[in-house]
Structure 1
Amino acid sequence: MTVTIAPLSEREFFAWYSLFAEYAADAAVEVTDEQVMRVWTTVQAPGAYGAVAHDETGSVVGFVHAVPFERLLQADGGFQVEDLFVAPTQRGRGVATALVEHVRSAAEAQRRVLLRWAARPDDPAVKALQDKFADAAGGWVLQTVPVG
């Protein structure tokens, strides 16, 4: 399968929205129209990054969203991959790898030094994708701490 990755554009909103709704449902998260528009505007803000994958017919079959972060001690920064999704019918065809590579290139163009993303530990496909890109010297563990 040939896949083309491109930054999000206004003309892809409805195709993106369809996949985003499926992504949210898979994660058992109900999203409102307001939340959808917040995501859409966030990934199109200066410094943030959103991209979609197109198959050979031009259909949108996946997306990735990333936002910048800074590492104060190291005086550098990276992208936090917030969302990565590939349509179930397109999985196992290299779409997710192509999306991550595209974000990595965008990060490099912005002189960002790394990507971070979190995933459920019980998802072997995501773990395999992360391992493909992982820095063996990394070793940091990101914890989520609820507040309020």
Structure 2
Amino acid sequence: MPDITVRALHLDDRAQWDALYQGYATFYNVTQTAQMRDTVWSWLHDANKDPRGLVAARADGTLIGLAHFRPFPRPLSATTGCFLDDLFVSPDARGTGAADALIENVRSIAAGEGWSVVRWITAENNYRGRGVYDRVASKTAWVTYDIKI
């Protein structure tokens, strides 16, 4: 992975981040507007909000992946965990190690913060992503439920 660098999201990454985040929404068949992306972008650059952003870039500066993550309290263990909300690698960059690099950087940040776990969810049919996840993490026995508000 010498040609891939993972770094914090910068303000001048907006156009490339926007394209990646649109790709992420499309992958999950989520309708997402420019206004919704504006909101997420603002959260990622607001010191009073929890989400943080990383990007994976090729040597020429082209962004090929993103990760958004945040701390969350874990009352039962009296610790803070890290929730990996979004992870996406552009289709043309899959298999390059970008996903592994993004996950490893999130894990490293979590370790540096003293967080107890990095946790995420994915779609049952995200087979390619799950191939990576099965290699770098342990699948849990937990089942997820939502109540729509």
TM-score by length of 1: 0.90
Change (3 A) 1:87 1:139: closer
Cα drift, residue 41 of structure 1: 2.2
Q: Which residue of 1 aligns with 2:122?
A: 119
Q: Which residue of 1 aligns with 2:74?
A: 71
1:88 to 84, 87, 91: 91
Q: Which residue of 1 aligns with 2:18?
A: 17
What secondary structure sits across from 1:81 in the alignment?
Answer: strand
CA distance in 2, matches of 1:147, 1:123: 23
Name the aligned partner's letter for residue 19 of structure 2. S
Q: How does 1:1-148 map to 2 (within 5 A)?
A: 1=1, 2-46=3-47, 47-135=50-138, 139-148=140-149
Name the aligned partner's letter for residue 34 of structure 1. Q
- CA displacement, residues 70-100 of structure 1 (integer Å, 9 cap, x when unaligned): 1012111111111111011110110000000
CA distance in 1, matches of 2:75, 2:13: 35
CA distance in 1, matches of 2:11, 2:143: 33
Percent identity over the alignment? 29
Instruction: Please tell me the root mean square deviation across aligned C-alpha atoms, in Å.
Output: 1.6
Name the aligned partner's letter for residue 14 of structure 2. F
Number of corresponding residues: 146
Residue ranges of structure 2 left out of the alignment (5+ in a row):
none
CA distance in 1, matches of 2:22, 2:140: 33
Greater CA drift, 54-63 or 33-42 = 33-42
TM-score by length of 2: 0.89
CA distance in 1, matches of 2:107, 2:136: 10
Residue ranges of structure 1 left out of the alignment (5+ in a row):
none
Change (3 A) 1:76 1:114: same
CA distance in 2, matches of 1:20, 1:65: 10
CA distance in 1, matches of 2:146, 2:51: 24
CA distance in 2, matches of 1:145, 1:66: 20
Greater CA drift, 42-51 or 1-10 = 42-51
Cα drift, residue 7 of structure 1: 0.5
Name the aligned partner's letter for residue 134 of structure 1. A
Name the aligned partner's letter for residue 54 of structure 2. A
What secondary structure sits across from 1:57 in the alignment?
Answer: coil
Greater CA drift, 38-47 or 90-99 = 38-47
